[in-house]
Amino acid sequence: MLLTSKSKIMANEEQIKEMVKQKYSEIALQEKENNQSSCCGSGSVSKEVYNIMADSYTTLDGYAADADLGLGCGLPTKFAKIKKGDTVVDLGSGAGNDCFVARAETGVEGKVIGIDFTPTMVNKARINAEKLGLNNVEFRLGDIENMPVTSDTVDVVVSNCVLNLVPNKKAVFQDIYRVLKTGGHFSISDIVLTGELPEKIKSAAEMYAGCVASAIHKEEYLGYIKEAGFANIALQKQKEIIVPDDILKDYLNDEEIKSYKSSPTVIHSITVYAEKQACCSSNSSCC
């Protein structure tokens, strides 16, 4: 039976998701030092002694070292304007780090829900929450394009270096809009591009699971947010991501590395904020 173009796209998306799921199942079981020295936990470990993408959470209230796998590319929870009593959802919650930081902001009055599609990560996060004795933090197994969360029930959505791993980013932003209450907002850190990546990097599976090859152009990314109906879109932070030579050598020859490094940096981490506003009329586009 011949597959339609739509069926082929869906089949390819499922293959990518399965690859990412397998990779992050492995990451859940490996040492944090390996994750920190790689591209968002990819198998390409750098010998350079610095974290390629992630910012440090260690000064934030609620930080739990056992839950920090060193996989992020920003500090979205720091910028998320979480208030006491808020209901917060973390997309791609991993071992629970952002959830525990968010819980420090919501207090006992609030609720934090972590969503991850990797069973090993969900189990790890639940163990960490139990160790910390946090009764208002829960972890659910599910896809972030179709969250196991009721519509119009969430005050704040956060996510750290996860959406770029999802093939259908448009669907993720649409579902974020669905679960947020009117007046709710999100703060998301992610990887975007401001130019073209070498084809060898874009097509490398390890770099996909490492948050780089799956990144899309910044303007396209922001366009999906606007298209979903969000307002007051703002960049809270942006920084260049420099990939070390010893990782580039896994994909490029010396001449290609030289060419890549001579061009402006095209890989960036951004933290972006947006709000779900009330519809001003029945004809409003946000409706």
Could you write out the DSSP letters of every residue in 31-71?
A: -HHHHHTSSTT-S----SSS-SSPPP-TTSTT--GGG--S-
- Nearest CA among 76, 84, 92 for reference residue 236: 76
Structural domain includes residue 248: yes
Assigned token pair, 76: 């979205």
Does pLDDT of 238 surpass 70? Answer: yes
The number of angstroms, rounded, from the C-alpha of 174 to the middle of its chain's C-alpha atoms is 15
Residues 6+ apart with CB under 8 A from 26: none
DSSP string, 11-41: HHHHHHHHHHHHHHHHHTTS-HHHHHTSSTT
Q: What is the pLDDT of residue 37?
A: 42
65-92, pLDDT tens digit by residue?
Answer: 988 887 788 999 999 999 999 999 999 9
The reply to whether 142 falls in a domain is: yes
The mean per-residue pLDDT over the stretch 260-274 comes to 93
- What local confidence, expressed as pLDDT, does residue 243 receive? 85
- The amino acid occupying position 255 is E
Tens of pLDDT, residue by residue over 100-152, are 999 999 999 999 999 999 999 999 999 999 999 999 999 999 999 999 999 99
77, 83 contact by CB (below 8 A) = no
Query: Domain for residue 282, yes or no?
Result: no
Edge-to-edge strand order for the sheet containing 231-240?
A: 137-141, 111-116, 87-91, 154-160, 180-193, 267-275, 231-240
The CA–CA distances, whole Å, from 279 to 182, 205, 275, 276 equal 9, 42, 12, 9
In a domain, 77, yes or no: yes
Residue 46 sits in a domain whose CATH number is 3.40.50.150
- Cα–Cα distance measured from residue 44 to residue 46, given in angstroms and rounded to the nearest whole number: 6
Q: Is the pLDDT of residue 20 over 60?
A: yes
Pull the structure tokens for residue 273.
Answer: 């904020």
pLDDT at 281: 43
Lowest-pLDDT range of 34-38, 118-122, 195-199, 216-220: 34-38
Domain-embedded: residue 268: yes
Cα-Cα-Cα-Cα torsion 184, 270, 21, 115, nearest 10 degrees, comes to -20
Average pLDDT over residues 233-250: 90
Residue span of the structural domain in which 38 resides: 5-275
In a domain, 281, yes or no: no
Helix, strand, or coil here: 283? coil
Domain count, the chain: 1
Average pLDDT, the chain: 84
Structural domain contains residue 130: yes
Examine residue 36 and state whether it is found in any structural domain, yes or no: yes
Distances (CA, A) of 67 to 23, 64, 93, 117, 165: 18, 5, 10, 17, 20
Under the banding of pLDDT at 50, 70 and 90, the label for residue 27 is: low
Mean pLDDT for the stretch of residues 33-58: 55
pTM of the predicted model, to two decimals?
0.84
